[in-house]
Chain A
Amino acid sequence: MTDTAAPIAKGPAPKIVSSRFDLVDGHTLQGYVRTGGYTALRKALTMSPEEVTAEVKTANLLGRGGAGFPAGVKWGFCPPGVFPRYLVINGDESEPGTYKDRLLVERDPHQLIEGVLIAAYAIGAAQAFIYIRGEMAHAQERVAAALNEAYAAGFAGHRVCGSDFSVDVVLHWGAGAYIVGEETALIESLEGNRGMPRLKPPYFPAVKGLYMQPTIVNNVETMANLPWIVLNGGAKFAELGNGKSTGTRLFALSGHVNKPGVYEVELGVTTFRDLFEKPEYGNGIRDGHKLKAFIPGGASAPWLYEEHQDLPLCKPTIDQAGSMLGSGAIVVMDETTDMVKAALRLVRFFARESCGKCTPCREGTTWLERILDRILAGNGRPEDVRLLMDVSDNISIGLAWPPRQTTICPLGQSATTPIASAVMRFPDEFAKYVGGSVELKVKPRGSAFVGPLTVTSEPANV
Chain B
Amino acid sequence: MSDTQAVEAPAKTTITVVVDGVSIEANPGELVINAAKRAGVEIPHFCYHPRMEPVGMCRMCLVDIDTGRGPALQPSCMIPVAPGMVVGTTSDTVTKAQDGMLEFLLINHPLDCPVCDKGGECPLQDQTVAYGPGESRMVEEKRHFEKPIPISDLVFLDRERCILCDRCTRFASDVAGDALIQFTERGNNTQVMTFPDESFASYFSGNVVQICPVGALTAKPYRFKARPWDLEQTESTCTTCSVGCRITVQSSRDELLRYQGVDSDPVNWGWLCDKGRFGFESVNSTNRFTQPLLKGEVTSWSQALDAAAGAIKAAIDRDGPKSVAMIGGANGTNEDAYAWAKLAKTIMGTGNVDAQLGDGLSADALLGLPRATIDEACAAGVLLVISPDIKEELPVLFIRLRDAVMNRGLKIVEVTPKATGLSSLAAVSVQHRPGEGAEAVRAILGQATTGQISVLPDVIAKAAGLLGGAVNVAIVGRTNLAEPVSASAEAISAVIAASGDTKFLAVTRRGNTLGALEMGLTPGVLSGHRVGGPEGLDTNGILQAASEGKISVLVLLGADPLSDFADSDLARRGLAGVGTVIAIDTLPNDSNALAHVVLPASGFAEKSGTTTNLEGRVSTLAQKVTSPGTARADWMIATELAWRLGGDLGIESTADVWTEVANASAYFAGCSTAAFGAPGAADGVLLPMPVTSVSLGTIASADESEATEAGGESAGSTQMLVTFATTTTVHRPAPQDAFSLRLIVGRELYDDGVALHNSASMSHLNRGGVMQLGSHDFDQLGIRPGERVRATSSRTSLVVEVKRNDAVPRGSVYMAFNQPNVSAADLIDATSATIDIRLETIS
- Residues in chain B near residue A390, CB distance under 8 A: 137
Query: Given the interface contacts A199-B78, A394-B100, does A362 sit within 8 Å of B188 by beta carbon?
Result: yes
Please, which residues of chain A bring their CB within 8 A of the CB of B99? 394
Known: A362-B164, A367-B107, A397-B93. A354 touches B60 (CB 8 A): no
Q: Which of A177, A358, A359, A365 has the most CB of B within 10 A?
A: A359
- A360 with B189: CB separation less than 8 A: no
In the assembled complex, A34 has its CB within 8 A of some CB on chain B: no
Contact yes or no, B75 A387, CB < 8 A: no
B187 in contact with A351 (CB, 8 Å): yes
- A370 in the interface, Cβ–Cβ < 8 Å? yes
Tell me, yes or no, whether B458 is within 8 Å of chain A by CB: no
Q: Mark each residue of chain A from 351 to 364: 1 if its CB lies under 8 Å from any CB of chain B, else 0.
A: 11111111110111
Residues of B within 8 A of A395 (CB): 100
Residue B188 contacts which of A179, A351, A371 (CB distance < 8 angstroms)?
A351
CB <8 Å contact, B78 and A356: no
Q: Are A370 and B187 within 8 A (Cβ)?
A: no
Q: Which residues of chain A have C-beta atoms less than 8 A from B55's C-beta?
A: 199
Closest to A364 in B: B104
Chain A minimum-CB-distance residue to B96 = A397
Q: Quick one: closest B residue to A404, CB to CB?
A: B73
Residue of A nearest to B141 (CB): A370
Q: Which of A354, A365, A374, A394 contacts B96 (CB 8 A)?
A: A394
We find that the number of chain B residues with CB closer than 8 angstroms to chain A is 37
Question: Is the beta-carbon distance between B186 and A394 smaller than 8 angstroms?
Answer: no
Q: Interface code B125-153, partner A: CB below 8 Å = 1, 0 otherwise?
A: 00000000000011110000000000000
List B5-61 residues whose CB lies under 8 Å from chain A: 55-60
Q: How far is the CA of A406 from the CA of B57 in the complex (A)?
A: 10
Task: State whether A366 touches B183 (Cβ < 8 A).
Answer: no
Interface residues of A, dominant DSSP = helix
> In the bound complex, how far is the Cα of B182 from the Cα of A393, in angstroms?
31
Task: Determine the distance from Cα of A397 to Cα of B96 in the docked complex, in whole angstroms.
Answer: 8
Q: A397-B93, A406-B73 are in contact. Are A359 and B104 (CB under 8 A)?
A: yes
Write out the residue numbers on chain A whose beta carbons fall within 8 Å of the beta carbon of B60. 359
- Chain A residues with CB under 8 Å of B107's CB are 363, 367
Q: Which residues of chain A have C-beta atoms less than 8 A from B78's C-beta? A: 199, 201-202
Contact partner, A356, options B62, B79, B100, B189, Cβ 8 Å: B189
Interface string of B99-122 (1 = CB under 8 A from A): 111011101100000000000000
> Hey, which chain A residues are within 8 Å of B183, CB to CB?
194, 356
Identify the closest chain B residue to A379 (Cβ).
B139
CB nearest neighbor in A for B106: A363
CB pair B57 A177 closer than 8 Å: no
Q: Give the docked Cα–Cα distance between A100 and B826 (Å).
A: 74
| Given contacts A359-B105, A408-B57, A354 and B140 within 8 Å (CB-CB) | no
How distant is the Cα of A362 from the Cα of B104 in the complex, in angstroms?
9
**A60 → chain B, closest Cβ, in Å?**
24
Q: Is B441 an interface residue (CB 8 A)?
A: no
Selected contact of B187 from candidates A360, A362, A387, A408, CB within 8 Å: A362
Find residues 344-398 in chain A having any chain B CB closer than 8 Å to their own CB. 351-360, 362-367, 370-371, 374, 387, 390, 393-395, 397
| Minimal beta-carbon separation of A393 from chain B (angstroms) | 8
Contact B187 A354 (CB under 8 A): yes
Chain A's nearest CB lies how many Å from the CB of B797? 50
Q: Which residue of A lies closest to B54 (CB)?
A: A199
Which residues of chain B are near A393, meaning CB under 8 Å? 96, 100
Interface residue A407 (Cβ < 8 Å from any Cβ of B): yes
Among the listed B72, B188, B189, which residue makes an inter-chain contact with A363, where contact means beta carbons less than 8 Å apart?
A: B188
Interface: B185 (CB within 8 A): yes
* Shortest Cβ distance from B79 into A: residue: A201
- For the complex, give the distance between the alpha carbons of A204 and B55 in Å: 15
**Structural contact, A354 and B101, CB atoms closer than 8 A:** no
A297 CA / B57 CA spacing, docked (Å)? 28
Q: Is the CB of B97 within 8 A of A363?
A: no
Contact (Cβ within 8 A) A360 B140: no
Which A residues touch B97, using CB under 8 A? 394, 397, 406
Quote the shortest CB–CB distance from A187 to chain B (angstroms).
Answer: 15
What A residues does B96 contact at CB under 8 A?
Answer: 393-394, 397
A393-425 CB contacts (< 8 Å) to partner B: 393-395, 397, 404-408
Known: A356-B183, A394-B103. A407 touches B59 (CB 8 A): yes
Contact residues, A232-276 vs B (CB, 8 A) = none
Check: B190 CB closer than 8 A to any chain A CB: yes
**Is the C-beta of B525 less than 8 angstroms from some C-beta in chain A?**
no
- Tell whether B582 is near chain A: CB-to-CB under 8 Å: no
Residues of A within 8 A of B62 (CB): 406
Residues in A neighbouring B75, C-beta threshold 8 A: 199
Report if B343 contacts A (CB, 8 A): no
The answer to whether the Cβ of B825 comes within 8 Å of any Cβ in the partner chain is no
With A363-B105, A406-B101 given, is the CB distance from A356 to B185 under 8 Å? yes
> How far, in whole Å, are A402 and B112 apart by their CA atoms in the complex?
40
Cα(A364)–Cα(B105), bound, Å: 9
In this complex, which of A362, A390, A395 has the most chain B Cβ atoms within 10 angstroms of its Cβ?
Answer: A362
In-complex Cβ contact of B56 among A194, A199, A365 (8 A): A199
Are the C-beta atoms of A353 and B187 separated by less than 8 Å?
Answer: yes
The docked-state distance in angstroms from the alpha carbon of A397 to that of B97 is 8
B401 within 8 A of A: no
A363 touches B104 (CB 8 A): yes
Residues in B neighbouring A408, C-beta threshold 8 A:
56-57, 59
Q: Is the CB of B137 within 8 A of A387?
A: yes
Question: Are A355 and B187 interface neighbours, CB within 8 A?
Answer: yes
A397 to B56, CA, bound (A): 18
Q: How far is the CB of B85 from chain A (nearest CB, A)?
A: 13
Task: Give chain B nearest CB distance to A101 CB in angstroms.
Answer: 23
> Is residue B327 within 8 Å, beta carbon to beta carbon, of the partner chain?
no
Complex CA–CA separation, A370 to B182 (angstroms): 27
Tell me which residues across on chain A come within 8 A of B365, comparing CB atoms. Answer: none
Instruction: Give the docked Cα–Cα distance between A177 and B244 (Å).
Output: 47
* B163 contacts the other chain (CB 8 A): yes
Contact yes or no, B79 A360, CB < 8 A: no
Closest A residue by C-beta to B191: A356
Q: Contacts A374-B140, A394-B96, A397-B96 known; A358 to B73 CB distance under 8 Å?
A: no
Are A397 and B104 CB-contacts (below 8 A) given A201-B78, A356-B188? no
Please measure, in the bound complex, the distance between the C-alpha atom of A352 and the C-alpha atom of B186, giving whole angstroms. 8
User: Mask for A72-93, Cβ within 8 A of B = 1, else 0?
Assistant: 0000000000000000000000
Tell me the complex Cα distance, A363–B108, Å. 8
The docked-state distance in angstroms from the alpha carbon of A405 to that of B197 is 40
Residues B105 and A366 in contact, CB atoms below 8 Å apart: no
Question: In the complex, what distance in Å separates the CA atom of A404 from the CA atom of B64?
Answer: 12
B59 neighbours in A (Cβ, 8 Å): 358-360, 406-408
Against A, the Cβ 8 Å flags (1 = close, 0 = not) of B51-90 are 0000111111010000000001101001100000000000
CB within 8 Å of A: which of B174-224? 182-183, 185-190
Q: Known A356-B183, A367-B107; judge A362-B56 contact (CB<8 A).
A: no
Q: Which residues of A contact B139 (CB under 8 A)?
A: 374
Residue ID in chain A nearest B62 by CB atoms: A406
Q: Which residues of B contact A199 (CB under 8 A)?
A: 55-56, 75, 78
- If A374-B140, A387-B137 touch, whether A362 touches B73 (CB-CB below 8 Å) is no
Which of A355, A363, A407 lies at the interface centre, i.e. has the most chain B CB atoms within 10 A of its CB? Answer: A363
For A387, the chain B residues whose CB sits under 8 A away are 137
CA distance A407 to B57 in the complex (A): 8
Give the distance to chain A from B48, nearest Cβ to Cβ, in Å: 12
Task: List 11 other contacts, CB 8 Å, given A356-B164, A407-B59.
Answer: A202-B78, A356-B186, A356-B190, A357-B57, A360-B59, A360-B104, A362-B104, A393-B96, A394-B97, A397-B97, A404-B73
Can you list 19 contacts pairing A with B, beta carbon distance less than 8 Å?
Answer: A194-B183, A199-B75, A351-B188, A356-B187, A357-B57, A359-B57, A359-B58, A360-B104, A363-B105, A366-B188, A367-B138, A367-B140, A370-B140, A371-B140, A374-B139, A393-B100, A397-B93, A408-B56, A408-B57
Leading 3 A-B pairs by shortest Cβ distance: A394-B100, A356-B190, A354-B187
Q: A: which residues have CB within 8 A of B?
A: 177, 179, 194, 199, 201-202, 351-360, 362-367, 370-371, 374, 387, 390, 393-395, 397, 404-408
